[in-house]
Amino acid sequence: MPPPTATAKKTTKRAPKPAPAPEVFKAAASKGKPAARIVVGDCREILPTLPEVKKQQLDLVFADPPFNWARDYDRDRTGEAWDDSAMTEQEYLGFTYDWIDACHAGLRDGGALWINIPDDWAAEIVVHCKRDLKMTMVNWCVWHYRFGQNTKSRFINSKVHALYFVKGNAGKRTWNADPILETSDRRAIYADARTETKRDGVPPGLRVPMDVWYGKYWGRIQGNNKERRHKHDNQLPEVYLERVVLACSNAGDTVLDPFTGTGTTGVVARALGRKYVGTEYARLNAERALQRIKAGPVRELGTSRGMSTAIHAPRRGSSPNAP
Protein backbone atom coordinates (compact mmCIF):
# COMPACT_ATOMS: atom_id res chain seq x y z
CA MET A 1 0.00 0.00 0.00
CA PRO A 2 1.20 3.50 -0.72
CA PRO A 3 2.12 5.62 2.25
CA PRO A 4 -0.63 7.88 3.56
CA THR A 5 -0.70 11.40 2.12
CA ALA A 6 0.77 13.97 4.49
CA THR A 7 -1.80 16.41 5.76
CA ALA A 8 -0.79 20.05 5.32
CA LYS A 9 -0.68 22.00 8.53
CA LYS A 10 -3.43 24.57 8.64
CA THR A 11 -2.48 28.12 9.57
CA THR A 12 -4.99 30.72 10.62
CA LYS A 13 -4.31 34.19 9.28
CA ARG A 14 -5.32 36.79 11.79
CA ALA A 15 -6.66 40.09 10.61
CA PRO A 16 -4.59 43.05 11.78
CA LYS A 17 -6.02 44.89 14.74
CA PRO A 18 -7.78 48.07 13.70
CA ALA A 19 -6.03 51.25 14.68
CA PRO A 20 -7.56 52.88 17.74
CA ALA A 21 -9.99 55.68 16.99
CA PRO A 22 -8.48 59.13 17.49
CA GLU A 23 -9.44 61.00 20.62
CA VAL A 24 -12.05 63.71 20.14
CA PHE A 25 -12.83 66.69 22.36
CA LYS A 26 -16.38 67.99 21.93
CA ALA A 27 -18.51 70.96 22.89
CA ALA A 28 -22.22 70.29 22.43
CA ALA A 29 -24.53 72.87 20.91
CA SER A 30 -25.97 75.08 23.63
CA LYS A 31 -27.60 78.47 24.10
CA GLY A 32 -27.58 79.19 20.39
CA LYS A 33 -23.94 78.20 19.97
CA PRO A 34 -23.29 75.38 17.50
CA ALA A 35 -21.36 72.22 18.30
CA ALA A 36 -17.57 72.18 18.09
CA ARG A 37 -15.07 69.35 18.12
CA ILE A 38 -11.32 68.82 17.91
CA VAL A 39 -9.85 65.54 16.69
CA VAL A 40 -6.39 64.65 18.01
CA GLY A 41 -3.78 63.54 15.48
CA ASP A 42 -1.85 64.46 12.35
CA CYS A 43 -4.17 66.49 10.13
CA ARG A 44 -2.89 64.73 7.02
CA GLU A 45 -4.26 61.45 8.39
CA ILE A 46 -7.36 62.79 10.14
CA LEU A 47 -8.81 65.15 7.52
CA PRO A 48 -9.68 62.50 4.88
CA THR A 49 -11.70 60.60 7.53
CA LEU A 50 -13.90 63.52 8.59
CA PRO A 51 -17.51 63.42 7.31
CA GLU A 52 -17.43 67.14 6.50
CA VAL A 53 -14.37 66.60 4.30
CA LYS A 54 -15.72 63.48 2.59
CA LYS A 55 -18.94 65.31 1.74
CA GLN A 56 -17.18 68.58 0.79
CA GLN A 57 -19.17 70.53 3.37
CA LEU A 58 -16.47 72.97 4.49
CA ASP A 59 -17.41 76.59 3.89
CA LEU A 60 -14.24 78.11 5.32
CA VAL A 61 -10.81 76.73 6.21
CA PHE A 62 -8.37 78.85 8.20
CA ALA A 63 -4.86 77.46 8.71
CA ASP A 64 -2.00 78.78 10.81
CA PRO A 65 0.47 75.92 10.33
CA PRO A 66 3.82 75.28 12.01
CA PHE A 67 6.46 77.49 10.41
CA ASN A 68 9.43 75.09 10.95
CA TRP A 69 10.92 77.85 13.10
CA ALA A 70 11.56 75.81 16.28
CA ARG A 71 8.48 77.20 18.02
CA ASP A 72 7.75 75.84 21.49
CA TYR A 73 4.46 73.97 21.28
CA ASP A 74 2.92 72.49 24.41
CA ARG A 75 3.61 68.81 24.99
CA ASP A 76 0.85 66.48 26.10
CA ARG A 77 1.07 64.08 29.03
CA THR A 78 2.90 61.50 26.91
CA GLY A 79 5.49 64.05 25.88
CA GLU A 80 4.05 64.21 22.38
CA ALA A 81 4.42 67.47 20.48
CA TRP A 82 5.08 68.65 16.96
CA ASP A 83 8.81 69.05 16.29
CA ASP A 84 8.90 72.44 14.63
CA SER A 85 12.47 72.37 13.37
CA ALA A 86 13.08 68.85 12.12
CA MET A 87 12.20 69.17 8.42
CA THR A 88 14.38 70.10 5.48
CA GLU A 89 12.95 72.69 3.11
CA GLN A 90 11.74 70.04 0.69
CA GLU A 91 10.23 67.95 3.49
CA TYR A 92 8.44 70.98 4.88
CA LEU A 93 7.02 71.93 1.49
CA GLY A 94 5.87 68.34 0.93
CA PHE A 95 4.14 68.43 4.31
CA THR A 96 2.59 71.79 3.42
CA TYR A 97 1.24 70.66 0.06
CA ASP A 98 -0.21 67.50 1.66
CA TRP A 99 -2.28 69.35 4.26
CA ILE A 100 -3.36 72.03 1.78
CA ASP A 101 -4.57 69.32 -0.62
CA ALA A 102 -6.50 67.62 2.20
CA CYS A 103 -8.22 70.90 3.11
CA HIS A 104 -8.94 71.72 -0.51
CA ALA A 105 -10.62 68.32 -0.97
CA GLY A 106 -13.12 69.12 1.79
CA LEU A 107 -14.12 72.60 0.61
CA ARG A 108 -17.43 73.14 -1.13
CA ASP A 109 -17.52 74.82 -4.51
CA GLY A 110 -16.82 78.48 -3.72
CA GLY A 111 -15.42 77.66 -0.28
CA ALA A 112 -12.63 79.84 1.13
CA LEU A 113 -9.13 78.85 2.23
CA TRP A 114 -7.09 81.27 4.34
CA ILE A 115 -3.45 80.54 5.20
CA ASN A 116 -1.39 82.50 7.74
CA ILE A 117 2.27 82.11 6.74
CA PRO A 118 5.60 84.01 6.91
CA ASP A 119 7.83 85.18 4.06
CA ASP A 120 9.73 81.88 3.96
CA TRP A 121 6.91 79.88 2.38
CA ALA A 122 4.32 82.32 1.04
CA ALA A 123 5.44 82.28 -2.61
CA GLU A 124 5.55 78.47 -2.84
CA ILE A 125 2.05 78.21 -1.34
CA VAL A 126 0.64 80.75 -3.79
CA VAL A 127 2.10 78.85 -6.73
CA HIS A 128 0.75 75.51 -5.47
CA CYS A 129 -2.77 76.82 -4.85
CA LYS A 130 -3.01 78.76 -8.12
CA ARG A 131 -1.14 76.45 -10.48
CA ASP A 132 -1.66 72.96 -9.06
CA LEU A 133 -5.07 73.30 -7.41
CA LYS A 134 -6.46 75.90 -9.82
CA MET A 135 -7.77 78.03 -6.97
CA THR A 136 -8.64 81.70 -7.38
CA MET A 137 -6.53 84.04 -5.30
CA VAL A 138 -8.79 86.80 -3.98
CA ASN A 139 -6.30 88.66 -1.77
CA TRP A 140 -2.73 88.55 -0.56
CA CYS A 141 -3.15 90.38 2.74
CA VAL A 142 -0.52 91.21 5.35
CA TRP A 143 -0.97 91.12 9.12
CA HIS A 144 1.35 93.86 10.41
CA TYR A 145 2.42 94.18 14.03
CA ARG A 146 4.74 96.67 15.74
CA PHE A 147 6.69 94.25 17.96
CA GLY A 148 8.67 91.88 15.78
CA GLN A 149 11.54 89.75 17.05
CA ASN A 150 14.51 92.05 17.59
CA THR A 151 17.58 91.68 15.39
CA LYS A 152 20.58 93.83 14.42
CA SER A 153 21.75 91.94 11.34
CA ARG A 154 18.78 92.59 9.05
CA PHE A 155 15.42 94.35 8.99
CA ILE A 156 13.05 93.20 11.73
CA ASN A 157 10.17 90.95 10.70
CA SER A 158 6.90 92.74 11.42
CA LYS A 159 4.40 90.91 9.27
CA VAL A 160 2.83 87.59 8.34
CA HIS A 161 0.97 86.92 5.10
CA ALA A 162 -2.75 86.17 5.09
CA LEU A 163 -3.45 84.39 1.82
CA TYR A 164 -7.08 84.16 0.66
CA PHE A 165 -8.08 81.58 -1.96
CA VAL A 166 -11.39 80.25 -3.26
CA LYS A 167 -12.06 76.77 -4.62
CA GLY A 168 -13.87 76.30 -7.93
CA ASN A 169 -16.45 78.87 -8.91
CA ALA A 170 -15.39 82.14 -7.27
CA GLY A 171 -18.87 83.49 -8.01
CA LYS A 172 -20.19 81.19 -5.29
CA ARG A 173 -17.92 82.52 -2.56
CA THR A 174 -19.34 84.09 0.58
CA TRP A 175 -18.43 87.75 1.02
CA ASN A 176 -19.89 89.89 3.81
CA ALA A 177 -18.39 93.37 3.74
CA ASP A 178 -20.76 95.20 6.09
CA PRO A 179 -19.74 93.63 9.45
CA ILE A 180 -16.03 94.34 8.85
CA LEU A 181 -16.23 97.94 7.59
CA GLU A 182 -13.93 100.55 9.12
CA THR A 183 -13.88 104.35 9.17
CA SER A 184 -12.15 105.72 6.09
CA ASP A 185 -9.13 107.98 6.29
CA ARG A 186 -11.11 110.59 4.35
CA ARG A 187 -13.44 110.90 7.33
CA ALA A 188 -10.99 110.19 10.17
CA ILE A 189 -8.16 112.48 9.05
CA TYR A 190 -9.51 114.98 6.54
CA ALA A 191 -13.23 115.34 7.33
CA ASP A 192 -13.71 115.10 3.58
CA ALA A 193 -17.35 115.84 2.75
CA ARG A 194 -17.18 113.61 -0.33
CA THR A 195 -17.08 110.46 1.78
CA GLU A 196 -20.34 111.46 3.46
CA THR A 197 -22.22 111.64 0.16
CA LYS A 198 -20.60 108.81 -1.77
CA ARG A 199 -22.84 106.26 -3.49
CA ASP A 200 -20.63 103.18 -3.85
CA GLY A 201 -22.90 100.90 -1.82
CA VAL A 202 -20.83 101.30 1.36
CA PRO A 203 -22.27 103.50 4.14
CA PRO A 204 -20.99 107.10 4.33
CA GLY A 205 -17.59 107.51 5.97
CA LEU A 206 -16.81 103.80 5.90
CA ARG A 207 -14.73 101.50 3.70
CA VAL A 208 -13.76 97.85 3.33
CA PRO A 209 -10.45 97.33 5.20
CA MET A 210 -7.26 97.54 3.16
CA ASP A 211 -5.06 94.49 2.63
CA VAL A 212 -2.56 95.49 5.32
CA TRP A 213 -4.09 94.70 8.71
CA TYR A 214 -3.12 96.52 11.90
CA GLY A 215 -4.70 98.60 14.63
CA LYS A 216 -6.19 98.26 18.08
CA TYR A 217 -5.99 94.69 19.43
CA TRP A 218 -4.11 93.56 16.29
CA GLY A 219 -0.74 93.10 17.98
CA ARG A 220 0.97 89.79 18.66
CA ILE A 221 -0.48 87.97 21.68
CA GLN A 222 2.37 88.04 24.18
CA GLY A 223 3.25 88.87 27.76
CA ASN A 224 0.29 89.93 29.88
CA ASN A 225 -2.15 90.31 26.98
CA LYS A 226 -5.47 89.17 28.41
CA GLU A 227 -6.12 86.97 25.36
CA ARG A 228 -2.95 84.96 25.89
CA ARG A 229 -3.18 81.29 26.69
CA HIS A 230 -0.51 80.32 29.20
CA LYS A 231 2.73 78.84 27.82
CA HIS A 232 1.96 79.23 24.14
CA ASP A 233 3.88 81.75 22.05
CA ASN A 234 2.12 81.31 18.71
CA GLN A 235 -1.37 82.74 19.16
CA LEU A 236 -3.36 84.96 16.80
CA PRO A 237 -5.53 87.85 18.04
CA GLU A 238 -9.30 87.36 18.11
CA VAL A 239 -9.89 90.38 15.84
CA TYR A 240 -7.92 88.67 13.06
CA LEU A 241 -10.19 85.62 13.06
CA GLU A 242 -13.26 87.79 13.59
CA ARG A 243 -12.55 89.59 10.32
CA VAL A 244 -11.97 86.35 8.37
CA VAL A 245 -14.95 84.47 9.81
CA LEU A 246 -17.42 87.35 9.41
CA ALA A 247 -16.32 88.19 5.88
CA CYS A 248 -16.08 84.67 4.45
CA SER A 249 -18.79 82.62 6.15
CA ASN A 250 -22.38 82.85 7.38
CA ALA A 251 -24.06 81.73 10.59
CA GLY A 252 -24.61 77.98 10.43
CA ASP A 253 -21.64 77.40 8.10
CA THR A 254 -18.86 74.93 8.88
CA VAL A 255 -15.39 76.27 9.68
CA LEU A 256 -12.31 74.05 9.90
CA ASP A 257 -8.83 74.68 11.28
CA PRO A 258 -6.31 71.88 10.68
CA PHE A 259 -3.92 73.33 13.28
CA THR A 260 -6.18 74.22 16.20
CA GLY A 261 -3.31 75.25 18.48
CA THR A 262 -4.63 77.64 21.09
CA GLY A 263 -8.13 77.44 19.60
CA THR A 264 -8.69 81.03 18.45
CA THR A 265 -10.41 79.98 15.22
CA GLY A 266 -12.81 77.75 17.15
CA VAL A 267 -13.43 80.40 19.81
CA VAL A 268 -14.45 83.03 17.27
CA ALA A 269 -16.29 80.70 14.87
CA ARG A 270 -18.51 79.19 17.57
CA ALA A 271 -19.19 82.56 19.20
CA LEU A 272 -20.35 83.86 15.80
CA GLY A 273 -22.70 80.93 15.21
CA ARG A 274 -20.53 78.78 12.96
CA LYS A 275 -20.00 75.04 13.42
CA TYR A 276 -16.38 74.27 14.15
CA VAL A 277 -14.22 71.22 13.52
CA GLY A 278 -10.49 71.17 14.07
CA THR A 279 -7.55 68.83 14.22
CA GLU A 280 -4.63 69.16 16.61
CA TYR A 281 -1.45 67.09 16.86
CA ALA A 282 -0.98 67.30 20.64
CA ARG A 283 -3.66 66.12 23.04
CA LEU A 284 -2.88 68.79 25.63
CA ASN A 285 -3.33 71.57 23.07
CA ALA A 286 -6.66 70.10 21.99
CA GLU A 287 -7.89 69.82 25.57
CA ARG A 288 -6.93 73.40 26.44
CA ALA A 289 -8.27 74.76 23.16
CA LEU A 290 -11.68 73.22 23.84
CA GLN A 291 -11.74 74.92 27.23
CA ARG A 292 -11.20 78.25 25.47
CA ILE A 293 -13.88 77.47 22.90
CA LYS A 294 -16.40 76.71 25.64
CA ALA A 295 -15.45 79.86 27.56
CA GLY A 296 -15.83 82.06 24.48
CA PRO A 297 -13.87 85.11 23.32
CA VAL A 298 -12.11 87.47 25.69
CA ARG A 299 -13.07 90.56 23.72
CA GLU A 300 -16.57 91.51 22.64
CA LEU A 301 -16.99 90.58 19.00
CA GLY A 302 -18.53 93.07 16.60
CA THR A 303 -17.16 96.16 18.31
CA SER A 304 -14.42 96.75 15.74
CA ARG A 305 -16.87 97.74 13.00
CA GLY A 306 -16.43 101.42 12.21
CA MET A 307 -13.07 101.77 13.97
CA SER A 308 -10.40 103.91 12.36
CA THR A 309 -6.94 102.60 11.53
CA ALA A 310 -5.66 106.02 10.40
CA ILE A 311 -1.99 106.58 11.17
CA HIS A 312 -2.22 110.40 11.21
CA ALA A 313 -4.06 112.66 13.59
CA PRO A 314 -7.25 114.42 12.40
CA ARG A 315 -6.69 117.63 10.49
CA ARG A 316 -8.74 120.82 10.27
CA GLY A 317 -10.55 120.03 13.50
CA SER A 318 -12.06 116.76 12.26
CA SER A 319 -12.74 113.88 14.62
CA PRO A 320 -12.32 110.17 13.75
CA ASN A 321 -16.04 109.35 13.80
CA ALA A 322 -17.75 112.54 12.74
CA PRO A 323 -18.34 114.13 9.33
Confidence grade of residue 228 (pLDDT, cut at 50, 70, 90): low
- In angstroms, rounded to a whole number, what is the distance separating the alpha carbons of residues 181 and 57? 28
In this structure, are residues 58 and 256 in contact, taking their beta carbons and an 8 Å threshold? Answer: yes
Let me know if residue 197 belongs to a domain. no
**Percent of the chain scored above 70 by pLDDT?**
82
- In angstroms, rounded to a whole number, what is the distance separating the alpha carbons of residues 79 and 59? 34
Low-confidence winner among 154-158, 180-184, 267-271 (lowest mean pLDDT): 154-158
pLDDT of residue 322: 47
pLDDT at 234 over 80: no
Let me know if residue 160 belongs to a domain. yes
Q: Which has more confidence, 232 or 62?
A: 62
Let me know if residue 25 belongs to a domain. no
Confidence grade of residue 104 (pLDDT, cut at 50, 70, 90): very high
Let me know if residue 200 belongs to a domain. no
- In angstroms, rounded to a whole number, what is the distance separating the alpha carbons of residues 93 and 132? 14
Pairing of strands 275-280, 36-40: parallel
Let me know if residue 245 belongs to a domain. yes
Nearest-CA neighbor of 113 among 177, 74, 162?
Answer: 162
pLDDT of residue 60: 98
In this structure, are residues 291 and 230 in contact, taking their beta carbons and an 8 Å threshold? Answer: no
pLDDT tens digits along 92-102: 999 999 999 99
In this structure, are residues 195 and 205 in contact, taking their beta carbons and an 8 Å threshold? Answer: yes
pLDDT tens digits along 175-211: 999 999 999 999 999 999 999 999 999 999 999 999 9
CATH of residue 151's domain is 3.40.50.150
Let me know if residue 310 belongs to a domain. no
Nearest-CA neighbor of 179 among 34, 267, 301, 264?
Answer: 301
Let me know if residue 255 belongs to a domain. yes
Let me know if residue 127 belongs to a domain. yes
pLDDT at 304 over 80: yes
Confidence grade of residue 80 (pLDDT, cut at 50, 70, 90): low
pLDDT at 318 over 60: no
**Percent of the chain scored above 90 by pLDDT?**
65
Range of the domain at 269: 35-178+209-278+285-295
pLDDT of residue 149: 74
User: Residue 195's Cα: distance from chain center in Å?
Assistant: 33
pLDDT of residue 219: 76
Q: How many domains does the chain have?
A: 1
pLDDT at 3 over 80: no
pLDDT tens digits along 119-140: 989 999 999 999 999 999 999 9
pLDDT of residue 323: 42
pLDDT at 81 over 80: no
DSSP-assigned beta bridge partners for residue 159? 144
Read off the pTM.
0.87
Name the DSSP class of 30. B
Confidence grade of residue 157 (pLDDT, cut at 50, 70, 90): confident
Query: Which residues, 6 or more positions from 306, have their beta carbon under 8 angstroms from its beta carbon?
Result: 181, 182, 183, 206, 321
Q: Which has more confidence, 187 or 80?
A: 187
